[in-house]
Amino acid sequence: MDHKIVSSESEELILVDETDDELGYLSKQECHDGAGILHRAFSLFVFNADQELLLQKRGAEKRLWPLYWSNSCCSHPRKGESMDVATVRRLQEELGIQAELEFVYKFSYQAQFGELGSEHELCSVYLGRTNQSYSMNRTEIAEARYLSRRQLDQELEANPDEFTPWFKMEWEQLCNKYSDKISAYA
């Protein structure tokens, strides 16, 4: 897939309140400036047939958390775009794959990345499975790999600072509060 540009700081994201009611639209850049403005987002956890999770290391050019390990795919629906359309689009743009996705839960969080900005998202978390080989978009992803649940837990324990804050929060919730769901995948 190489180096295809699939997002920009000027694309309009969907502003929401804590109950996910739409409040308007703002550029991606403005949503991530300072302490951030609450906007709609999603995180996808895609597993293979061997029950391994596909992880990605975020691209070096990412404004927030560049070269940190994170879940398979995370992004935002754009103005006028449904979550279903956005998740399918982004999996294709970043990894060149399709997966049947199951919505699990949504939560809001705020995480500051030094002086460069923040994530402040109401994030919908999905689980999915694919048998397709991925093809990384190098503008978005520096590396990708599959890990078993055990391997991932060991890496998170040994090197927690190498992972994005939302990924760590989501993985903990999936393993603890939604263990029945995650057990079907991992």
Which of 12, 121, 140, 170 is the catalytic position? Answer: 121
Residues 6+ apart with CB under 8 A from 172: none
131: how many CB neighbours lie within 10 A of its CB? 8
Q: Is residue 155 among the annotated active site residues?
A: no
Looking at the chain, how many residues does it have?
Answer: 186
| Residue from 30, 31, 52, 74 carrying the catalytic annotation | 74
Question: Is 74 assigned a catalytic role?
Answer: yes
Listed in sequence order, the residues at least 6 apart from 104 whose beta carbon sits closer than 8 Å to its beta carbon are 125, 126, 127, 174, 178, 181
Containing 155, the helix (H) or strand (E) segment is helix 149-158
CB atoms near residue 44 (< 10 Å) = 22
Name beta bridge partners: 58: 141
Are 111 and 118 contacting, i.e. CB atoms less than 8 angstroms apart? yes
Active site residues: 74, 121
